[in-house]
Amino acid sequence: MVIRSEESLEETSSLGFTYAKILVFSIVLFVVLFIGSLFLAQTLLAKWFDPRYAHREANKKIDLLVRRFDSLAVEEQNKAEFIANVKRIFNGDTLGGAYNPEEALRQQDKPIKPVSSMKLAASDSQFRKSFEQSELSLVALTGSKYRELRETFFFTPLTGVISDRYDVKKGHYGIDIVAKTNEPVKCIADGTVIMASWTQDAGYVIAIQHRGNLISVFKHNAELLKKVGSFVNAGEIISIVGNSGEMTDGPHLHFELWYNGNSLNPEEFVTF
């Protein structure tokens, strides 16, 4: 190849080509283009040129969906168990019976009835000793939890006259407070509303989950002012006292306290 000047047509430079140079240049260019194409096909252009790309992306999406489904299944199961426990509480089914903290404190100082060691082998005696120690620890823990609740300040939900007191034997797991019509009902402590709906027996019911597995329940309301999921502060108005539901004979509030799935006597913790 000869390069000449446009004005004088004088030869300025020349390039010599041979078949060998052209072949080497073509091979190098082909290799560079091939490597570049492979790189682009695996990265930027993979979705168009790599047939395995769609398969890998589909597997990723399937794996993500499976994980989400498993998480939702576990969450749904937990919600179902929680709702079942709340319904059991509202229906008055205690299963494990009412929690009597005073009895637990008395049992703390009460000696355990001994079993004659003449009838027990050495391994049985050791097991009995370990079991008695764990039982005493459990009673002490129950007593400490009860004292912790007693030391907590709770707002009075409603000012009025107690017409029916807590009585487990009669299946009355709360207290009834008679008050004036349209009196506001207040939250006893900070918490989250876990139920706010209508039931045939108790009318408008609102339940609040507090810290420490404590639940407060308010029944026979005339109107509910909070929705499920709402966070409420201690002393905040949550409903209006009323006479709703079939199991009522006048305007009053039925108030219950539940701790770890067991009913408590509200008068032992809240000042009325």
In which domain, by residue range, is 123 found? 101-150
Inside any domain, residue 170: yes
Residues 6+ away with beta carbon under 8 Å from 27: none
What would the DSSP string read from start to end of 91-131? TT--SS----HHHHHHHHHSPPPP--GGGS-HHHHHHHHHH
Q: What 3 state SS string does 169-227 have? A: CCCECCEEEECCCCCEEECCCCEEEEEEEEECCCEEEEEEEECCCEEEEEEEEEEECCC
Q: Which residue bears the tokens 């091939």? A: 34
The rounded distance, in Å, linking the Cα atoms of 174 and 256 is: 4
- Count of domains in the chain? 2
Same domain, 244 and 193: yes
Inside any domain, residue 80: no
Inside any domain, residue 234: yes
Q: Which of 150, 170, 187 is the last residue of a domain?
A: 150
Mean pLDDT score across all residues of the chain: 77
Amino acid at 192: T
What is the tens place of the pLDDT at every residue in 2-40?
A: 566 666 666 666 666 677 777 888 898 888 888 887 777
Inside any domain, residue 68: no
**Mean of the pLDDT values across residues 183-201?**
93
Beta bridge partners of 221: 204, 241
Give the model's pLDDT for residue 96: 44
Q: What is the pTM of this model?
A: 0.52
Same domain, 253 and 200: yes
Give the model's pLDDT for residue 221: 94
Comparison of pLDDT for 145 and 146, the residue scoring more: 146
Q: Which of 150, 176, 191 is the last residue of a domain?
A: 150
Inside any domain, residue 173: yes
Same domain, 140 and 226: no
Confidence of residue 135 (pLDDT cuts 50, 70, 90): very low
Give the model's pLDDT for residue 13: 63
Decide if pLDDT at 55 tops 60. Answer: yes
Same domain, 210 and 141: no
**Mean of the pLDDT values across residues 240-251?**
87
What is the domain-level CATH number for residue 260?
2.70.70.10
Same domain, 167 and 248: yes
**Mean of the pLDDT values across residues 205-234?**
93
Inside any domain, residue 248: yes
What would the DSSP string read from start to end of 28-79? HHHHHHHHHHHHHHHTTTHHHH-HHHHHHHHHHHHHHHHHHHHHHHHHHHHH
Give the model's pLDDT for residue 175: 95
Give the model's pLDDT for residue 83: 74
Give the model's pLDDT for residue 35: 86
Comparison of pLDDT for 181 and 42, the residue scoring more: 181
Give the model's pLDDT for residue 213: 86
Same domain, 185 and 259: yes
What is the tens place of the pLDDT at every residue in 72-130?
A: 887 787 777 777 766 666 665 544 444 455 554 555 455 545 444 445 455 555 655 55
Q: Which of 150, 178, 209 is the last residue of a domain?
A: 150
Same domain, 140 and 171: no
Inside any domain, residue 225: yes
Same domain, 199 and 135: no
Same domain, 168 and 259: yes
Same domain, 146 and 182: no
Give the model's pLDDT for residue 134: 45
Give the model's pLDDT for residue 229: 92
Give the model's pLDDT for residue 118: 46
**Mean of the pLDDT values across residues 122-151?**
55
Inside any domain, residue 155: no
